[in-house]
């Protein structure tokens, strides 16, 4: 259980940290497969998958949840082809053109007919709550998926005070200064960044597998471009790409961490999940505060 992306949210106020109680609150929004004319369904599923039934998995006071989204796959090309055939049949049989309004009605009828027979695909979004540190950490870099997770949690609990992470210093200006003068202690640059002109519809340059301290990047910085994404490593334990929206992409844990995980005895899938979750969350409990500090700390309010 290793996250690949991070969307970070701050909890406001107290949070129910009893996993049994939280499981009970989530049950009403437990996942149910698509039925009838559903285009999609969302609900909570066991983080342990086939190895568990509880909707909450707890480790060291942190609570792992998993949102499952199932949606029907009905390609537009399939609908269009069926519609064209139906229109052709009507125009041939009745010797008249099919107007726009009638085409729209026919299309809706075709969708209703095809939906129950369409294939489905599922997508899992994991996230954990750290009540003691007031964090919700979601494994996605997509705002829409993060909001779906939070909205269902809010619906399950009745209310949820939460807001995206904001910091005191501009991430873009901070990362730009870092490339110009060096990263903060314990952070080292990777070989990737994104540069943007700080104007509407400004130019964007993506740099990969280059020395970020080299002349090419320096030329763009001297021209006034700002860093909006930056690959970095922290304390020889975490690698990632941080964006100016504070979303963390392509999160990787170094061999030092993965070797520690491998040394932990785990007799089955449940024990392995538990050990990995505990180790990952422990690493992030140090990395996230370190990251917020170099951006001037969390903006309160």
Q: What mean pLDDT value characterizes the chain?
A: 93
Q: How far apart are the first and last CA of the chain?
A: 33
The pTM score is: 0.89
- pLDDT tens per residue across span 86-143: 888 888 888 889 899 998 998 888 888 888 888 889 999 999 999 999 999 999 999 9
Q: What is the domain count for the chain?
A: 3
pLDDT at 23: 96
The whole-angstrom separation of Cα 89 and Cα 96 is 11
Residue 299 lies in a domain: no
CA dist 23 → 75, 149, 176, 202 (Å) = 36, 15, 44, 47
Of the candidate ranges 27-36, 111-120, 185-194, the one whose mean pLDDT is the lowest = 111-120
Are residues 123 and 245 part of one domain? no
Of the candidate ranges 109-113, 153-157, 247-251, the one whose mean pLDDT is the lowest = 109-113
The whole-angstrom separation of Cα 124 and Cα 190 is 29
Q: Give 219's strand partners.
A: none
Are residues 252 and 191 part of one domain? yes
Are residues 210 and 145 part of one domain? no
Helix, strand, coil content of the chain in percent (nearest 5): 40, 30, 30
pLDDT at 115: 84
Are residues 227 and 209 part of one domain? yes
Residue 1 lies in a domain: no
Are residues 137 and 194 part of one domain? no
Q: Say whether pLDDT at 301 is over 70.
A: no
């Amino acid at each position: 259980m290793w996250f690949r992306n991070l969307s970070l949210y701050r909890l406001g106020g107290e949070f129910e940290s009893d996993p049994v109680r939280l499981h009970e609150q989530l049950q009403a929004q437990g996942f149910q497969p698509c039925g009838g004319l559903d285009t999609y369904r969302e609900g909570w599923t066991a983080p342990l998958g086939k190895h568990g039934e509880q909707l909450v998995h707890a480790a060291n006071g942190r609570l792992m949840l998993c949102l499952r989204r199932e949606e029907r796959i009905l390609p537009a090309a399939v609908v269009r082809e069926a519609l064209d055939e139906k229109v052709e049949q009507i125009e041939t049989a009745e010797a008249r053109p099919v107007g726009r309004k009638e085409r729209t009605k026919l299309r809706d009828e075709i969708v209703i007919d095809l939906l129950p027979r369409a294939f489905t695909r599922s997508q899992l979004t994991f996230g954990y709550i750290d009540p003691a540190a007031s964090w919700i950490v979601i494994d996605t870099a997509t705002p829409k998926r993060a909001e779906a997770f939070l909205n269902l949690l809010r619906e399950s609990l009745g209310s949820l005070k939460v807001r995206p992470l904001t910091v005191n210093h501009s991430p873009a200006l901070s990362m730009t200064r870092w490339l110009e003068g060096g990263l903060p202690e314990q952070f080292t640059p990777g070989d990737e960044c994104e540069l943007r002109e700080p104007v509407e519809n400004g130019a964007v340059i993506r740099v990969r597998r280059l020395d970020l301290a080299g002349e090419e990047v320096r030329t763009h910085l001297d021209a006034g471009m700002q860093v909006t994404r930056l690959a970095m490593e922290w304390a020889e334990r975490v690698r990632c790409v941080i964006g100016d929206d504070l979303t963390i992409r392509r999160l990787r844990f170094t061999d030092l961490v993965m070797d520690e995980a491998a040394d932990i005895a785990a007799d089955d899938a449940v024990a392995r999940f538990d050990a990995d979750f505990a180790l990952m969350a422990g690493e992030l409990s140090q990395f996230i505060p370190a990251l917020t500090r170099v951006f001037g700390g969390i903006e309160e309010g």
